[in-house]
Structure 1
Amino acid sequence: MKKLSIWFTALLIAAGLGIIIPGPASAATSYCGLTWGSLAKAAPDTGAGSVTNVRSGRQACYDRLVIDLNGRTDGYRVEYVGVITSDGKGEVIPVRGGARLRIVALAPAYNDSGSATYLPANPKEVVNVAGYQTFRQVVWAGSYEGQTTLGLGVRARLPFRAFTLVGPGGGSRLVIDVAHFW
């Protein structure tokens, strides 16, 4: 009988400490404190820059894609789509991953003379994202009629954000962050 009361007391203490019975999950809690969604994001174009580089990076809670511009450009459209298509021709471009983000920078990858300001060495692998937690592939979809399109293959349809940063110098950057988890 004494053993039973000791076990019962231990069970009550463990339950009181939350060891055995977990508390309810909170809807307000999110992965790494991120509160982004997965719906389309856009901003109107207010500048006149052109694309000069595309690069990526890994953070603790998300993977990041950065499009560098040589002038002020705030305009973009970023959204999940079923397929990525090339600018101008509309041909489907295969992209690895469980979901695809179409990134449209409202800036050309060429100057006023039509000379390229950015042309990836490999349009099927614009940047190397091997080993990234969320990114699977970055593809070049083209630059046509004053806008540049990239396809970003990701592991799944995950929360993301898009925004611009001014600088360095007279340039700016379009930044796309995709969370590792919900």
Structure 2
Amino acid sequence: MSSDDTTGPASLSLAARIEAILYLKGRPLDLAELARLASLDPAVALSAEQVELALITLMADYAHRDTALEIRQEGRQYSLQLRESLSGLVQNLLPVELSTATLRTLATIALKKRILQSDLVELRGSGAYDHIKELLAQNFIERRRQSDGRSYWISLSEKFHRTFALRGVAELPSGRTPPLASP
């Protein structure tokens, strides 16, 4: 990444980095883990207070916007969740029986197009192994052994494309990118 690149993690606020981490992990995280993951420099640790202040800012932002998502605190852990009031809508719209966490894992695979299973587990946590099994069982993904390593390449299957009917960037009007295509 060049020093004049303004699209990298360094250009994002701490609250935005935490939001991305909560989205990608798809599970509740405590302040210490959020601080470790959000730090741009492993040699410079973020404090729990810095993370907590960014979370409060993020929670207030979600509370004042008309959005389907919210930051939920469960004990000493935080997660990015769909508002509880939308659970009925979700059940009506989802064409398949997949948990929210499994759908997030599938969305991560869709964003990457092709990803090593080891990298996916690093992004999504150890629960990704169960998500991968479920997605393989429902034929939404394909898995091929890496030729020069021990991991597997994971990619989307034809069934995924038929079921979710996502349009490619080239097919969108005005060259807009789809909402899930943001890194």
For the aligned pair, the TM-score class normalised by the smaller chain equals: under 0.3
Relative to its length, the structure with more strand (as a share) is 1
Structure having greater relative contact order (Cα 8 Å, sep ≥ 6): 1
TM-score in terms of structure 2 length? 0.26
Compare CA radii of gyration and give the structure with the larger one: 1
Relative to its length, the structure with more helix (as a share) is 2
